[in-house]
């Protein structure tokens, strides 16, 4: 299993290249995998294609990753993404 430090390093290295103001909120160790929470958005601009591209750039850093949950607060257009990583 990949380490928490490597996950943090890869995500933080990728975030500056994104356009959606992504922030790494937390990494939770579930013993067999990690659950990573990210949030981002452009406060009302609704540029879903940018969000998808930015998130893809982050998840492409990992071999074993899956979607846990992705919520979007439509009035603000701010989203919270949870991914699992092993």
**Can you give the pLDDT at residue 70?**
94
Q: Where are the domains of the chain?
A: 4-85
Burial class (CB in 10 A: 0-12, 13-18, 19+), 76: exposed
Q: What is the CATH number of domain 4-85?
A: 3.30.70
Backbone angles phi, psi at 51, to 5 degrees: -60, -45
Say whether 16 sits in a helix, a strand or coil. helix
Residue-wise pLDDT tens digits, 65-74 = 999 999 987 7
Which residue blocks in the chain are alpha helix, DSSP H? 4-14, 48-59
pTM, full prediction: 0.91
CA nearest neighbour of 68 among 20, 14, 23, 30: 30
**Can you give the pLDDT at residue 60?**
96
């Amino acid at each position: 299993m990949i380490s928490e430090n490597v996950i943090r390093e890869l995500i933080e290295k990728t975030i500056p290249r994104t356009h959606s103001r992504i922030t790494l909120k937390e990494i939770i160790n579930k013993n067999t995998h990690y659950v990573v929470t990210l949030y981002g958005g452009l406060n009302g601009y609704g540029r879903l294609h940018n969000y998808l591209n930015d998130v893809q750039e982050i998840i492409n850093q990992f071999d074993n990753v899956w979607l846990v949950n992705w919520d979007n607060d439509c009035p603000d257009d701010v989203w919270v993404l949870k991914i699992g990583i092993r």
